[in-house]
Amino acid sequence: MTSLPLFYSDEVQDARATGKAIVALESTIISHGLPYPENKETARSLEAIIRAEGAVPATIAIIEGRLTIGLSERELHLLASGEVPVTKVSRRDIASVIAKGQTGATTVAATMIAAELAGIAVFATGGIGGVHRGAQQSFDISADLPELGRTNVAVVSAGPKAILDLALTMEYLETAGVPVIGFQTDELPAFWSRRSGIPLIDQVTTPEEMAEIMKVKWQAGLDGGILVANPVPQAHEIPADEIATAIEAALAAADAEGVSGKDVTPFVLSQMRDLTNGKSLITNQALVSHNAKIAAQIAVAYAAQTKA
């Protein structure tokens, strides 16, 4: 049992006390994913989507050394505005950022950790990290994957980011025993695209079905997360063959400039915005909004089933 203090917004604290459904949200999309003020507007839009579905949003960050579950207007502005340095926080960084009293935005891995500590079972994000292309030589594998193998949170995402090696990412998840469950799809979505060509062995069609799987898994003591693969809405997708050229160009630019480690993904996503004339950003915003909606529906269903 952790003794690390958590700091809750009044809204999240009330939801915990009354047993209301809660959905975790990451904060790297605010500080490292989108420019200001679009980042702040997107964050509040995602929270509004979750509330509209009957759940409570809990955007997670480290604010001046405090692991914070649910952000105030001041705290959100601190992350979005760039007025103070904001560290990109994964599992390895949590202790240092808290101990030094710094401010940090949580990645998928760090958000999962904080969500589990806070008793939040569902987390909505855009896309997860995974095995990078060329990982056979670089060993570049996102910390999101081992976190999914050990932390009890259902992550609703539009699949791994398409700049990654999707086949190897799926192999890793299979080895780690992570259920990858398609939400109204039988194929792994590829972030900007609805299809990747990689079949999924398990699918659900309703939030209630997904909630039942979560309940059974964790009641059986089968620790670890679940990846809920939720495709981008068809009206906003960029087909895989169309986006492929831009992905290759963005990865080549990263290689040419010597970008590595945790800087690769934000660099490549920024390149993608330019290469697609902003189309990739519009798709990104659409898919993360859709993930927030489905995550809230799953959280409401799970809260109802675990109360029963």
Q: What is the DSSP string of 14-41?
A: HHHHHT--EEEE-SHIIIIIS-TTHHHH
- Does 251 lie in the same domain as 266? yes
Residues 137 and 35 occupy one common structural domain: no
pLDDT band at 137 (very low <50, low <70, confident <90, very high): confident
Instruction: Let me know whether 158 and 241 are in one domain.
Output: yes
**161 flagged as catalytic:** yes
Judgement on whether residues 102 and 238 belong to the same structural domain of the protein = no
Looking at the structure, do residues 116 and 188 belong to the same domain, yes or no?
no
Residues 307 and 260 in one domain: yes
CA-nearest of 128, 20, 3, 115 to 68 is: 115
Q: What is the pLDDT of residue 1?
A: 46
Catalytic (active site) residue 26: yes
pLDDT reading at 308 higher than 70: no
Domain boundary among 72, 99, 120: 120
Among residues of the chain, what percentage have pLDDT more than 70?
A: 99
Which of 47, 53, 88, 161 is flagged as catalytic?
161
Among 120, 147, 167, the domain-final residue is 120
Based on the fold, state whether residues 129 and 48 are members of the same structural domain.
no
Residue 136 has pLDDT above 90, yes or no: no
142 pLDDT exceeds 50?
yes
Band (pLDDT 50/70/90 cuts) for residue 102 is: very high
189 & 279 share domain = yes
Share of the chain above pLDDT 90, in %: 85
Per-residue pLDDT, 18: 96
**Are 224 and 137 contained in the same domain?**
yes
Q: What's the pLDDT score for residue 2?
A: 62
**Burial of 80 from C-beta contacts in 10 A (0-12 / 13-18 / 19+):** buried
Output the domain CATH number for residue 236: 3.40.1790.10
Same domain, 90 and 127: no
Q: Is the pLDDT of residue 131 over 80?
A: yes
Mean pLDDT of 196-211: 98
Q: What is the mean pLDDT of residues 143-155?
A: 98
d(CA 20, CA 134): 44
Q: How sure is the predictor about 229, in pLDDT bands with cuts at 50, 70 and 90?
A: very high
Residue 300 has pLDDT above 70, yes or no: yes
Asked if residue 216 and residue 147 are part of one domain, the reply reads: yes
Average pLDDT of the residues in 68-86: 96
Give the number of domains in the chain.
2
Domain that includes residue 230, residue range: 122-308
Residues with Cβ < 8 Å from 178, sequence gap 6 or more?
A: 145, 148, 149, 224, 225, 226, 227
The tens digit of pLDDT for each residue in 1-56 reads 467 899 999 999 999 999 999 999 999 999 988 888 989 999 999 999 999 999 99
Cβ–Cβ under 8 Å, residues 230 and 252: no
Check residue 135 and give its pLDDT.
87
Q: Which of 26, 53, 75, 147 is catalytic?
A: 26
Model pTM score: 0.95
End position of a domain, from candidates 120, 150, 179: 120
Q: Is the same domain home to 103 and 128? A: no
pLDDT reported for residue 3 = 72
What residues contact 153, with CB distance under 8 A and at least 6 apart?
A: 24, 112, 115, 116, 120, 121, 122, 123, 225, 226
